[in-house]
Protein backbone atom coordinates (compact mmCIF):
# COMPACT_ATOMS: atom_id res chain seq x y z
CA UNK A 1 0.00 0.00 0.00
CA UNK A 2 1.24 3.48 -0.80
CA UNK A 3 0.62 6.31 1.64
CA UNK A 4 0.68 9.71 0.02
CA UNK A 5 1.97 12.86 1.74
CA UNK A 6 2.25 16.33 0.19
CA UNK A 7 5.85 15.64 -0.88
CA UNK A 8 5.43 12.01 -2.03
CA UNK A 9 7.56 11.03 -4.99
CA UNK A 10 6.17 8.03 -6.85
CA UNK A 11 8.61 5.79 -8.67
CA UNK A 12 7.37 3.26 -11.23
CA UNK A 13 9.01 0.42 -9.28
CA UNK A 14 6.93 1.37 -6.23
CA UNK A 15 3.73 1.39 -8.25
CA UNK A 16 4.43 -1.94 -9.96
CA UNK A 17 5.34 -3.68 -6.71
CA UNK A 18 2.01 -2.59 -5.23
CA UNK A 19 0.01 -4.22 -8.03
CA UNK A 20 1.17 -7.77 -7.39
CA UNK A 21 -2.46 -8.55 -6.46
CA UNK A 22 -3.25 -8.76 -10.18
CA UNK A 23 -1.42 -12.09 -10.47
CA UNK A 24 -3.25 -13.38 -7.40
CA UNK A 25 -6.63 -12.34 -8.83
CA UNK A 26 -5.86 -13.93 -12.19
CA UNK A 27 -4.91 -17.17 -10.46
CA UNK A 28 -8.31 -17.18 -8.73
CA UNK A 29 -10.43 -16.82 -11.87
CA UNK A 30 -12.98 -19.64 -11.94
CA UNK A 31 -12.60 -21.64 -15.17
CA UNK A 32 -15.48 -24.00 -14.34
CA UNK A 33 -18.48 -22.48 -16.11
CA UNK A 34 -20.60 -23.11 -19.19
CA UNK A 35 -23.67 -21.86 -21.06
CA UNK A 36 -25.39 -23.77 -23.88
CA UNK A 37 -28.50 -23.27 -26.00
CA UNK A 38 -30.19 -24.54 -29.14
CA UNK A 39 -30.32 -22.76 -32.51
CA UNK A 40 -32.44 -25.20 -34.54
CA UNK A 41 -36.11 -26.11 -34.26
CA UNK A 42 -36.87 -29.17 -32.18
CA UNK A 43 -40.18 -30.92 -31.46
CA UNK A 44 -40.41 -32.39 -27.96
CA UNK A 45 -41.60 -35.93 -27.20
CA UNK A 46 -44.79 -36.14 -25.17
CA UNK A 47 -45.08 -37.91 -21.80
CA UNK A 48 -41.45 -38.83 -21.21
CA UNK A 49 -38.40 -37.32 -19.48
CA UNK A 50 -35.98 -36.45 -22.28
CA UNK A 51 -32.48 -34.98 -22.28
CA UNK A 52 -32.66 -31.63 -24.04
CA UNK A 53 -30.48 -31.57 -27.21
CA UNK A 54 -28.48 -28.34 -27.04
CA UNK A 55 -26.35 -27.68 -30.10
CA UNK A 56 -24.31 -24.55 -29.38
CA UNK A 57 -22.07 -23.35 -26.57
CA UNK A 58 -22.16 -19.70 -25.67
CA UNK A 59 -19.12 -20.41 -23.50
CA UNK A 60 -17.49 -23.44 -21.91
CA UNK A 61 -14.32 -22.13 -20.31
CA UNK A 62 -12.81 -25.47 -19.25
CA UNK A 63 -14.46 -27.67 -21.94
CA UNK A 64 -16.51 -29.71 -19.46
CA UNK A 65 -19.79 -29.61 -21.40
CA UNK A 66 -19.98 -32.23 -24.15
CA UNK A 67 -22.24 -30.86 -26.89
CA UNK A 68 -22.58 -34.31 -28.52
CA UNK A 69 -23.92 -36.01 -25.36
CA UNK A 70 -25.42 -32.84 -23.82
CA UNK A 71 -23.81 -33.52 -20.45
CA UNK A 72 -21.65 -31.46 -18.14
CA UNK A 73 -18.93 -33.43 -16.36
CA UNK A 74 -18.04 -31.99 -12.96
CA UNK A 75 -14.28 -31.22 -13.00
CA UNK A 76 -13.73 -30.81 -9.25
CA UNK A 77 -15.77 -31.59 -6.14
CA UNK A 78 -17.68 -28.58 -4.86
CA UNK A 79 -20.86 -26.54 -4.82
CA UNK A 80 -22.25 -25.71 -8.27
CA UNK A 81 -24.97 -23.29 -9.30
CA UNK A 82 -27.12 -24.38 -12.27
CA UNK A 83 -30.01 -22.78 -14.09
CA UNK A 84 -32.02 -23.90 -17.07
CA UNK A 85 -35.00 -22.51 -18.93
CA UNK A 86 -37.24 -23.56 -21.80
CA UNK A 87 -39.75 -21.45 -23.68
CA UNK A 88 -42.22 -24.06 -24.98
CA UNK A 89 -45.25 -23.44 -27.17
CA UNK A 90 -47.79 -26.20 -26.61
CA UNK A 91 -50.54 -26.96 -29.09
CA UNK A 92 -53.07 -27.93 -26.40
CA UNK A 93 -53.58 -28.26 -22.67
CA UNK A 94 -50.56 -29.80 -21.02
CA UNK A 95 -47.78 -29.82 -18.47
CA UNK A 96 -44.11 -28.82 -18.78
CA UNK A 97 -41.26 -29.42 -16.32
CA UNK A 98 -37.48 -29.19 -16.53
CA UNK A 99 -35.07 -30.75 -14.07
CA UNK A 100 -31.39 -31.40 -13.54
CA UNK A 101 -30.47 -35.08 -13.65
CA UNK A 102 -27.45 -37.28 -13.02
CA UNK A 103 -27.03 -41.01 -13.73
CA UNK A 104 -30.73 -41.53 -14.35
CA UNK A 105 -31.85 -39.73 -11.19
CA UNK A 106 -33.54 -36.37 -10.82
CA UNK A 107 -31.48 -34.09 -8.58
CA UNK A 108 -33.35 -30.79 -8.80
CA UNK A 109 -36.84 -30.10 -10.14
CA UNK A 110 -37.87 -26.75 -11.53
CA UNK A 111 -41.23 -25.06 -11.67
CA UNK A 112 -44.02 -27.39 -12.86
CA UNK A 113 -46.18 -25.53 -15.38
CA UNK A 114 -49.62 -26.60 -16.57
CA UNK A 115 -51.88 -25.00 -19.16
CA UNK A 116 -55.61 -24.98 -18.66
CA UNK A 117 -56.70 -23.82 -22.10
CA UNK A 118 -55.61 -24.40 -25.69
CA UNK A 119 -52.31 -23.37 -27.25
CA UNK A 120 -50.09 -21.52 -24.78
CA UNK A 121 -46.49 -20.83 -23.93
CA UNK A 122 -44.96 -22.62 -20.96
CA UNK A 123 -41.72 -21.32 -19.48
CA UNK A 124 -40.42 -23.90 -16.99
CA UNK A 125 -37.28 -22.85 -15.10
CA UNK A 126 -34.93 -24.74 -12.79
CA UNK A 127 -32.35 -23.03 -10.57
CA UNK A 128 -30.37 -24.27 -7.63
CA UNK A 129 -27.11 -25.18 -5.91
CA UNK A 130 -25.87 -28.77 -5.82
CA UNK A 131 -22.89 -30.33 -4.05
CA UNK A 132 -21.26 -32.61 -6.64
CA UNK A 133 -18.19 -34.81 -6.79
CA UNK A 134 -15.56 -34.97 -9.53
CA UNK A 135 -16.71 -36.92 -12.57
CA UNK A 136 -20.45 -36.57 -11.97
CA UNK A 137 -22.38 -36.09 -15.23
CA UNK A 138 -25.14 -33.48 -15.19
CA UNK A 139 -27.85 -32.97 -17.79
CA UNK A 140 -31.02 -30.95 -18.29
CA UNK A 141 -34.15 -33.00 -18.97
CA UNK A 142 -37.69 -31.95 -19.68
CA UNK A 143 -41.10 -33.54 -19.36
CA UNK A 144 -43.79 -32.39 -21.73
CA UNK A 145 -47.28 -33.90 -21.65
CA UNK A 146 -48.10 -32.43 -25.08
CA UNK A 147 -45.57 -32.30 -27.90
CA UNK A 148 -44.38 -28.71 -28.29
CA UNK A 149 -41.72 -26.66 -29.99
CA UNK A 150 -39.24 -24.84 -27.71
CA UNK A 151 -37.92 -21.45 -28.75
CA UNK A 152 -34.37 -21.57 -30.10
CA UNK A 153 -32.37 -18.62 -28.83
CA UNK A 154 -29.75 -18.17 -26.14
CA UNK A 155 -32.07 -15.91 -24.15
CA UNK A 156 -35.14 -18.17 -24.08
CA UNK A 157 -33.97 -21.80 -23.93
CA UNK A 158 -30.67 -22.45 -22.18
CA UNK A 159 -28.69 -24.41 -19.60
CA UNK A 160 -25.76 -22.93 -17.67
CA UNK A 161 -23.74 -23.53 -14.56
CA UNK A 162 -20.61 -22.63 -12.63
CA UNK A 163 -18.59 -23.66 -9.62
CA UNK A 164 -19.41 -21.57 -6.54
CA UNK A 165 -16.94 -22.99 -4.04
CA UNK A 166 -15.03 -26.12 -3.07
Q: What is the pLDDT of residues 114-141, one digit of tens each?
A: 766 666 677 888 999 999 999 999 999 9
**pLDDT higher than threshold 60 for residue 2:** no
* CA 154 to chain centroid: 11
Query: What pLDDT is stored for residue 160 in this prediction?
Result: 97
* Average confidence (pLDDT) over 18-26: 58
Residues 6 or more apart whose Cβ sits within 8 Å of residue 151: 86, 87, 88, 89, 157
Contact 109, 124 (CB under 8 A): no
For domain 30-165, give its CATH number from 1.20.120.720, 3.40.50.12780, 2.60.120.40, 3.30.70.600. Answer: 2.60.120.40
How many Å from the N-terminal Cα to the C-terminal Cα in the chain? 30
* Average confidence (pLDDT) over 88-96: 72
Contact 93, 139 (CB under 8 A): no
State the pLDDT confidence band at 152, using cuts at 50, 70 and 90.
confident
Q: Cα(38)–Cα(20) distance, rounded to whole angstroms? A: 42
Q: What is the DSSP string of 61-124?
A: TTS-EETTTTEEE--SSEEEEEEEE--EEESSS-EEEEEEEETTEEEEE---EE-SSSSEEE--
**Helix (H) or strand (E) segment spanning residue 8:** none
Q: Cα(126)–Cα(8) distance, rounded to whole angstroms? A: 56
* Average confidence (pLDDT) over 146-154: 71
Tell me, yes or no, if the pTM score tops 0.95: no
Query: What pLDDT is stored for residue 75 in this prediction?
Result: 97
Query: What pLDDT is stored for residue 43 in this prediction?
Result: 75
Q: Cα(117)–Cα(136) distance, rounded to whole angstroms? A: 40
pLDDT digits (tens, 9 = 90+) for 38-63: 888 777 788 889 898 999 999 999 99
- Which 3 state secondary structure label does DSSP give 60? strand
- Which 3 state secondary structure label does DSSP give 3? coil
Amino acid sequence: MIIFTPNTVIRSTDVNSNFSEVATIQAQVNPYKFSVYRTAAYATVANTWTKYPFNLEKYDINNNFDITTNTYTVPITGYYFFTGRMNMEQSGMGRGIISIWSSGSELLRGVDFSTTTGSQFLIPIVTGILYLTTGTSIELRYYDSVASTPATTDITTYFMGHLLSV
